[in-house]
Amino acid sequence: MPKSNLQTRDDDEQEEKAVPTNVSGQRLKSFLERIERLEEEKKALAEDIRDVYSEAKSLGFEVKIMRKIVSLRKTNVEKRREEAELLELYMSAIGMAE
């Protein structure tokens, strides 16, 4: 692939100045880099989580059960949040919002 201002290549760090290359391209590049940085962090966290499970497993805990518990607690939290939203909907429906 030849030079492209859509930034499919990730290793050209030159040309900061001279060329009046279009601004939105720079802008886009910046966004993409931010996103990729964040995704890397996210991926790292996913690995950390796996590591914790591994550690627990090595100490004799059952991963499957742990996952289930985590999942259940999560749905509890979500349910509560949704109930709150429902309540808000009721309130706004009867003109008592805010």
Partner DNA sequence: ACCGTGGTTAGCTTTC
Partner DNA sequence: GAAAGCTAACCACGGT
In sign, the C-alpha dihedral spanning 63, 67, 73, 76 is: negative
- Sorted by sequence, the CB contacts under 8 Å of residue 63 that are 6+ apart come out as 53, 56, 57
The C-alpha R_g of the chain, in whole angstroms, comes to 24
Q: Contact letters (x/-) for DNA, 64-93, by CB under 7 A?
A: x--xx--x----------------------
Q: Which does 54 bind (CB under 5 to 8 A by kind): DNA, a copy of itself, none?
A: DNA
Tell me whether residue 15 or residue 47 sits nearer to DNA (CB atom). Answer: 47
* Smallest gap from residue 53 Cβ to DNA (A): 5
